[in-house]
Structure 1
């Protein structure tokens, strides 16, 4: 891997993680504030994350196993914010005994 390809790969992976974080944050904010606008932005962030995962898989010189890991991670990102939010809502909805 050349230094330029290393930098391109690192930047793409950093953007991938950032888009995944934006998806989680915007999803939770959109759900808790009942904001359709934020939910649309969350979906856009998730679409960007998936696009970046595909770009990493096709444009970088990473080994096949790493490319597969990135693609699977991009798909799994879809489930993490809804599951986490449901768990936190259930956890905080239980009454605490005095």
Structure 2
């Protein structure tokens, strides 16, 4: 599947959210910013704070490749061949 086809559902979801709320992604982020700041300042949700502070837009291709690697490694382990990486297409030594 091409990266464009994988990104299509993400773009469609963003478009639907914008139509539903009347806000662009950036406008929505600015509108919830004060609330998120209050939640983080309270210090009761350290994992959320970490995620927000380290947040970056995930690369759809990298996310897909990671998921595919997980599935392929699981299948390879199930049939006894060891992990197979989609990045190199090669098995590790002894695999």
Return the TM-score normalized by structure 1: 0.30
Q: Which has the larger radius of gyration?
A: 2
Normalised TM-score (structure 2): 0.31
Instruction: Identify the structure with bigger relative contact order (alpha carbons < 8 Å, sequence gap 6+).
Output: 1
